[in-house]
């Protein structure tokens, strides 16, 4: 099995919480509460991304996975403005998707038809994006 014990334990806890309807009584400090949403990034072959997908089989909450594109080894984003712009634009789009997901999920969780935040009016102040 190619998954660390931390992730295996988390999946076991998620299953037990689903089966019991609450945190198990033997869990230290009362255990973890059920999440309202799950957010994870896909970077390289990171097991945490698939872990959240698997854990959501038990939690059944809104899930969002966003792509983190690593700059390949040896590529020079310091001196290649076109390449730097490509990666910055990609991250920027992922952040916009994430904010939209949070707004929609929060609206659902709060039981309102929508939050009064027009997504198109949001300003995303990140680094050197123009």
If the chain, 130 residues long, is cut into consecutive pieces of 10 residues, what is the mean pLDDT of each piece? 72 90 88 85 71 85 83 78 87 88 81 61 41
Report the pLDDT value the prediction gives residue 55, as an integer from 0 to 100.
Answer: 85
What per-residue confidence (pLDDT) applies to 113?
Answer: 65
From residue 129, how far is each of 23, 65, 86, 101 by CA, in Å? 43, 22, 11, 21
For residue 75, what pLDDT is reported? 79
Residue 116's Cβ-count burial label (10 Å; 0-12, 13-18, 19+) is exposed
pTM for this prediction? 0.70
Domain boundaries, the chain: 1-68, 70-130
Please tell me the predicted confidence (pLDDT) of residue 66: 83
Predicted pLDDT of residue 34: 83
The values of phi and psi at residue 77, to 5°, are -80, -15
């Amino acid at each position: 099995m190619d998954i660390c014990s931390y992730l295996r334990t988390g999946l076991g806890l998620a299953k037990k919480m689903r089966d019991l309807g609450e945190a198990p009584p033997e869990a230290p400090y009362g255990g973890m509460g059920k999440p309202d949403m799950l957010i994870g990034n896909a970077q390289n072959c990171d097991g945490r991304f698939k872990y959240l997908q698997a854990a959501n089989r038990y939690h059944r909450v809104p899930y969002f996975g966003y792509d983190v594109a690593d700059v390949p080894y040896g590529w020079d984003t310091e001196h290649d403005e076109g390449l730097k712009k490509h990666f910055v634009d990609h991250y920027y789009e992922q952040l916009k998707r994430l904010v939209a997901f949070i707004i929609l999920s929060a609206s659902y969780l709060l039981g309102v038809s929508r939050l009064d935040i027009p997504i198109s009016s949001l300003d995303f102040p990140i680094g050197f994006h123009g």
